[in-house]
Amino acid sequence: MNSGKSVTVIGGGIAGLSSAVFLAEKGCRVKLIESSPKLGGRAYSFYDQEKKMFFDNGQHILAGWYENTFDFLKITGSFGLLDFQSALEINFINENMQIFRLKCTDDDPPMNLVMGLLKFKALNFNDKFRLRNINKILKGEKDSLLKYDNAGELLRDLNQTDNLMKYFWEPLILAVFNTKPLNVGTEVFINVLKTGFGEKGNSNLVIPSVDLNALLINKTVEYFERKDVTVITGERVKQIDIGEKVNFIILENGEKIFSDYYISAVPFFSFARLFDEKISGKFKFDPDSLKHSCIISVHIFLKEEIPEEMIPDNSLGMTGLTGTSVQWIFLRSRKHLSLVISGADDIGLTDESPEKIFETCVNDLKKCIRDFDKIKISDYRVIKEKRATFIPSAESGRNRPGQRTEFENFFIAGDWTDTGLPSTIESAVKSSKIISDHI
């Protein structure tokens, strides 16, 4: 099928790639332009010459509710490269070396979560008693909860205990929103909970069984070759020329590109630069209303295998740490631990040196894992992504632009557009799906 429509996509991150895929699938002639030499934007892998292996720029976790992402990956042929949990299951180790397992049951939601939390030994009777208030979020009217500015205020008013915050809400919020509860707008928080615990399977975690290039880029590039999608990398779009509608775009090298439709899939901080100052004011979007949040990943290589009793395995080899700077350990192998520090700005780690960050990680591991001080470390890598996500505050929620604009042939894609979701792959792909349906 060839719709005959031509579309130019600016930006080769996940929003740009998925826009190109959905539109090529509908028969459009697509040209994608990416300023950097590589595709993938904030989700990519790079080759480390010394270790002779690929590293992701950060562990990416998906969930059962990523329906638009799954559609994208099914079209490119990557869907089979995902590992799905059969039920939400996470091990936690606290700063007193106690290990707890949260395992949701096979019941329909929200019973699966309630039953899992009732059996979760990190919680005491009082914590479990307060759990019934979760229903006010899951089953309640969203509008009545919007009087709260943020998730922190809402949870405090629902009498969630310190223990519930420590073992359930804070790990969940940091993993999904990459910041603390007080920074998360109530609306986006409720959206995620209602979606995540809305249908069976939605809350199950999903992780790639391969690196991010293999999951998101390589097969997409093969798909583009089959569908004659033109991809230009290493070429920045300098300006979008707009009158009544977009007339053309100009590349840094002076070349003009003409098409029927144009999609911006650049990050929020690059968006205004694409236009003449007079025009950028028309989008009623203030880039300063969005703030970044950093994620730090630390890979630790061990001389010997770490025994099972130190880090018990679970379905995805994922363990949460509580009372520490490190939040997650992913067991890549028994000799390779991949650690995640989300919301690194909140704990003042973003500008620390790799040596200092590594030292913090090792101290956390010693604090939580019995006998970790006997384990010999052979090597480590620290990967910092200062602009990993935006902070989904209530204010940012009011400022995110929709995908359609007042210019009929111009659309905006990206995780930061108004999808009702936090800064995630799913938000990026959802924005593309909305646009491809309009076009």
Ligand X SMILES: Cc1cc2nc3c(=O)[nH]c(=O)nc-3n(C[C@H](O)[C@H](O)[C@H](O)COP(=O)(O)OP(=O)(O)OC[C@H]3O[C@@H](n4cnc5c(N)ncnc54)[C@H](O)[C@@H]3O)c2cc1C
Among residues 266, 262, 267, 209, which one has the least CA distance to residue 73? 209
Helix ranges, 26-141 (H) = 67-76, 111-118, 125-130, 134-138
Is residue 249 involved in binding ligand X (CB under 6 A)?
no
Question: Does residue 392 belong to the site contacting ligand X (CB under 6 A)?
Answer: no
Candidates 55-63, 255-263, 317-325, 359-367; binding stretch for ligand X (CB under 6 A):
55-63
- Please work out, in degrees rounded to the nearest 5, the angle formed at the alpha carbon of residue 263 by the alpha carbons of 258 and 268: 130
Q: In the stretch 189-228, what mask flags binding to ligand X with x, by CB under 6 A? A: ----------------------------------------
| Cβ contacts of 51 within 8 Å, gap of 6 or more | 301, 379, 381
* Contact mark string toward ligand X, 399..418, x via CB under 6 A: ---------------xx---
Out of 7, 22, 28, 34, the only residue in the binding site for ligand X (CB under 6 A) is 34
Q: Is 10 in the site for ligand X (CB under 6 A)?
A: yes
Binding mask 298-337 for ligand X (x = CB under 6 A): ----------------------------------------
Among 7, 8, 9, 16, binds ligand X (CB under 6 A): 16
Only segment of 58-66, 122-130, 159-167, 343-351 that touches ligand X (CB under 6 A): 58-66
Size of the site for ligand X (CB under 6 A): 35
d(CA 90, CA 264): 38
Indicate whether 11 belongs to the interface with ligand X (CB under 6 A).
Answer: yes
Q: What is d(CA 375, CA 311) in angstroms, rounded to the nearest whole number?
A: 12
* Closer residue to ligand X in complex, CB, 61/391: 61
Q: Which of 67, 89, 241, 385 binds ligand X (CB under 6 A)?
A: 385
Helix, strand, coil percentages (3-state) for the chain, rounded to 5, are 35, 25, 40
Q: Does 389 engage in binding with ligand X (CB under 6 A)?
A: yes
Amino acid type, 17 = L
Verify binding: residue 434, ligand X, rule CB under 6 A: no
For residue 298, CA distances in Å to 179, 210, 240, 343, 384 come to 18, 18, 39, 14, 9
Q: Closer CB to ligand X, residue 145 or residue 272?
A: 272
Adjacent-strand bridge partners of 29 = 6
- Half-sphere exposure (Cβ direction) of 299: Cα atoms closer than 13 Å: 17
Name which of 10 and 434 has its Cβ closer to ligand X: 10
Position 64 contacts ligand X (CB under 6 A): no
Residue 269 is encoded by which pair of tokens? 């901080």
**For the chain, how long is the longest CA-to-CA vector?**
69
If binding is defined by CB under 6 A, does position 397 make contact with ligand X?
no
Could you say which of 8, 9, 13, 349 contacts ligand X (CB under 6 A)? 13
Give the single-character DSSP code of 274: G
Comparing C-alpha atoms, which of 205, 206, 161, 170 is closest to residue 327? 170
CB under 6 A: which stretch of 33-41, 120-128, 136-144, 368-376 binds ligand X? 33-41
Using CB under 6 A as the criterion, which residues of the chain lie in contact with ligand X when the complex forms?
Answer: 10-16, 33-36, 41-43, 57-58, 60-61, 236-237, 265-267, 270, 295, 385, 388-389, 414-415, 423-426, 428
